[in-house]
Structure 1
């Protein structure tokens, strides 16, 4: 029935593209052909294959919340999801923003040392700039500043959902940071050069006091 199409088909004919096996063409309308994104759209080239795959499955299941992405991801087959994750993880890494905001001392402090007064650890202990970053967490070096800050605000408002299994600590972390700290750490990460997953530089990260 015509009235049902709004609930089963995404805008721009994505369903047809997905069924034909070429969903990259639809993804490119927001993320760019190479997945570099920018502005409101995340840079997909920064993440490894596992994270990208798990994120698409989370969108499809609704545990990672986005009305648009849920429609998109839920129309993909497991084979298409796996192929997309492999494709974007294989693309050359670059900054999402050609001219990112200038990094500040405040942003560096939050990223590398956290907020000890509130028991918040260094962002880098999970999200890059350290060899300890795991596949469960997204890499942030070179991501769009606007995108990072917006995701933090979604976490603070409990409106983002999660890709990882189990409890997500980001809600409490985002609520513990001031708007100025969120903007500063987003700008700091946006200005960092992306590095290959296999060559993450080790930096000294001071954990927050307990």
Structure 2
């Protein structure tokens, strides 16, 4: 084979491989890197933003779709979610579900956390099982930023987020029986799980 013919074959092969590389979808890990600045490396946050590592894939997809459609209000995520296809959202959901959440190292009141354990067991455990660590039926609560959880509760109260009927009933019952400080106690319990 002549040098000229060899170069043509190499060039054609390179173009073919190059076009395949351009057509390939980004991997779930690559997609997840766009989330790292806010949600932490591999989905474990170190700020007021929630940890998404270990999130139930169905919950993750539902949440992203709600952001994407505008059903769930947000400061940034409603715009970010629109940049992903449904397939990419599902791929990210499966990626983050496989990651182990790292609890946030944060200050908490031991006395309030002790009160919060009992309140959690009486009012929250049925949905937020295993002390808020089980994500099969709901979002991760244990080890989340207490500020994020506080803002989430304020969003529920203000009507910015839909409150599940069971949660509304249980929170109302807890507030009626234990007053507003009960919310802070439960949040300190979740924050104490480090």
TM-score by length of 1: 0.66
Separation in structure 2 between the aligned mates of residue 130 and residue 106 of structure 1, nearest angstrom: 13
Q: Corresponding residue for 1:64? A: 72
How far apart in 2 are the matches of 1:179 and 1:29? 34
Partner in structure 2 of residue 83 of structure 1? 91
Give, in angstroms, the shift of residue 69 of structure 1: 0.8
Where does 1:197-208 land on structure 2 (aligned, <5 Å)? none
Aligned to 1:152: 153
Question: Which structure 2 residue ranges, 5 or more long, are not aligned?
Answer: 1-24
The whole-number CA distance in structure 2 between the counterparts of 1:40 and 1:175 is 25
1:100 positional shift = 4.2
* Alpha-carbon distance, 1:42 to partner: 0.3
Is 1:65–1:159's contact at 8 Å kept on the other side of the alignment? yes
Q: Is 1:53 aligned to 2:50, yes or no?
A: no
Q: Describe the shift of the 1:171–1:75 C-alpha distance in structure 2 as closer, same or farther (beyond 3 A).
A: farther
Contact 2:54 2:135 in 1 (8 A): no
Counterpart for residue 105 of structure 1: 114
How far 1:64 sits from its partner (Å)? 2.1
SS in 1 for 2:95: helix
Count of residue correspondences? 160
SS at match of 1:126: coil
Q: Distance in 2 between matches of 1:46 and 1:101?
A: 23
Post-superposition Cα deviations, 1:25-79, rounded to whole Å, max 9, x if no partner, equal: 3211101121111331001114222211221112112222214111111221011
1:42 corresponds in structure 2 to 50
User: Is contact 2:43–2:53 with CA below 8 Å preserved after alignment?
Assistant: yes
- Superposition RMSD on alpha carbons, in Å? 2.5
1:196 corresponds in structure 2 to none
Q: For 1:24 and 1:173, locate their aligned partners in 2 and report how far apart those are by CA, in whole Å.
A: 35
d(CA) in 2 for partners of 1:62 and 1:135? 24
The answer (yes or no) to whether the contact 1:52–1:85 under 8 Å persists in 2 is yes
The 1:173–1:69 alpha-carbon spacing in structure 2 relative to 1, beyond 3 Å, is: farther
Question: Equivalents in 2 of 1:149, 1:46: separation in Å?
Answer: 21
Superposed CA offset, 1:175-202 (max 9, x none): 5634422121111012225xxxxxxxxx
Q: Offset at 1:124?
A: 1.2
| C-alpha distance in structure 2 between counterparts of 1:147 and 1:70, whole Å | 17
